[in-house]
Amino acid sequence: MKKTNAARILDRLKISYELKEYLVDLDDLSAVNVAQKVGMPVEMVFKTLVVRGDKTGVLMACIPGNAELHLKQLAAVSGNKKVEMVHLREVLGLTGYVRGGCSPLGAKKEYPVYLDKSSEDCEIIAISAGIRGQQILLSPTDLVTAVKATVSNIVQ
């Protein structure tokens, strides 16, 4: 199993986690499909979305796989008047990650990360390890700790 930047960050911080591999279906990169493949409820598999705010620039939102991002709410908590999804063609250049493999940890630049409050209801959540076909299972508090250690801004 290949160690990704996200996994190396957790190792460096001595945060315990589990790597879970799954077979990638390029025709269905949805969080619902990933959740089925790793055997977890979709509300515990968090997807990382890349967004651009009119005042703050690029940021990341980690939300449950079965949820839709509320752009107005994210704008309000992030200090923006409005936020919009970054075009898919920009994601790789901005983060170093491809669609279906975007992680809140280890992106090529430091972006603020906004973690959905529902994560507090979960003992364990899954996030992308930074490549398709691999999820990191860890506690939401450990994710917050890791992001705080690597990014200057995380909000739950």
Name the percent of the chain in helix, strand, coil, to the closest 5.
35, 25, 45
pLDDT score at 3: 87
- Give how many domains the chain has, as a whole number: 1
Q: How far apart (Å, rounded) are the C-alpha atoms in residues 105 and 125?
A: 14
Question: Looking at the predicted structure, is the pLDDT value of residue 154 above 80?
Answer: no
**Neighbour tally for 117: CB within 10 Å:** 11
pLDDT tens-place string over residues 23-62: 999 999 999 999 999 999 999 999 999 999 999 999 999 9
Amino acid code (one letter) for 154? I
Residues 8, 20 contacting (CB under 8 angstroms): no
With CA atoms as reference, report the closest residue to 73 among 82, 64, 63: 82
Reported as a pLDDT band with limits 50, 70 and 90, residue 153 is low
- Using pLDDT thresholds of 50, 70 and 90, give the confidence band for residue 110: confident
Q: Which of 73-82, 87-96, 110-119, 144-153 has the lowest mean pLDDT?
A: 144-153
Q: What CA–CA distance (Å, rounded) separates 27 from 47? A: 17
Residue 156 has pLDDT above 50, yes or no: no
Say what the pLDDT of residue 135 is.
97
Per-residue pLDDT at 150: 81
For the chain, give the mean pLDDT. 94
CATH number of the domain that residue 54 is part of: 3.90.960.10
- Phi and psi at residue 82, in whole multiples of 5°? -150, 150
Q: Which domain holds residue 16?
A: 5-155
- Cα–Cα distance measured from residue 51 to residue 57, given in angstroms and rounded to the nearest whole number: 8
The answer to whether 94 and 70 are in contact (CB under 8 A) is: no
Q: For a pLDDT cut of 90, what percent of the chain falls above it? A: 92
Average pLDDT over residues 93-120: 94
